[in-house]
Amino acid sequence: MKTTPPEQSNPKSTAPQPLLVQWWQKWGENITILVLAVGLAIFIRTFVAEPRYIPSESMLPTLAVGDRLVVEKLSYYTHPPQRGDIVVFVPPPQLQEQGYLEDQAFIKRVIGLPGEKIAVKNGRVYVNGELLIESYTAEAPSYAMSPMLVPPDRLFVMGDNRNNSNDSHVWGFLPQANIIGHACFRFWPIERLGGMR
């Protein structure tokens, strides 16, 4: 009568696993979560929104030095900037020629749209010959500017602190392609938390 030999255990099942496999079993899930989180953060910052810091007084009284904003990037995929929007943008070539770096983002308010004629006279801004009603400026501009026609795919932008702003009245028109996004919400300081207009 034949007897069945006792089952032998598989030597592979009891052999110690390589260190790399042990390490991955212990840390793999955490690393995967971290990589996904970093990837998501990069995606959001690149295509959806990013925080920005105000370094100058050019947008007083609307924005003060040290204010921190959320700059959203989605709305301009569906419609162009509108008059009154506060936009953050990469310095155009004429500013880069003056020594500003590409990563030194500017922030200004959209005043003139493509095809519009912008002028400054007697301390007032005119769009197509009509007075622009503005409640957000620090003071009336102390300069004059002959009518300028905004070209296609360009904007005329100004700081709310008209007499302390390096804007379109100094360096010309802003290419719309330079816009990073629309400054829509201030999250710091807490006492000034909220949207902007």
β-strand partners of 156: 112
Residue 126: in which H helix or E strand, if any?
strand 124-127
Are 179 and 78 in contact by the 8 Å Cβ rule? The answer is: no
Of the residues 73, 108, 165, 168, only one is catalytic, namely: 108
Residue 2: strand, helix, or coil = coil
Of the residues 2, 12, 58, 168, only one is catalytic, namely: 58
CA distance 57 to 4: 91
CA distance 136 to 196: 10
Residue 81: strand, helix, or coil = coil
Q: Residue 108 catalytic?
A: yes
Q: Residue 58 catalytic?
A: yes
Q: Give me the active site residues, please.
A: 58, 108
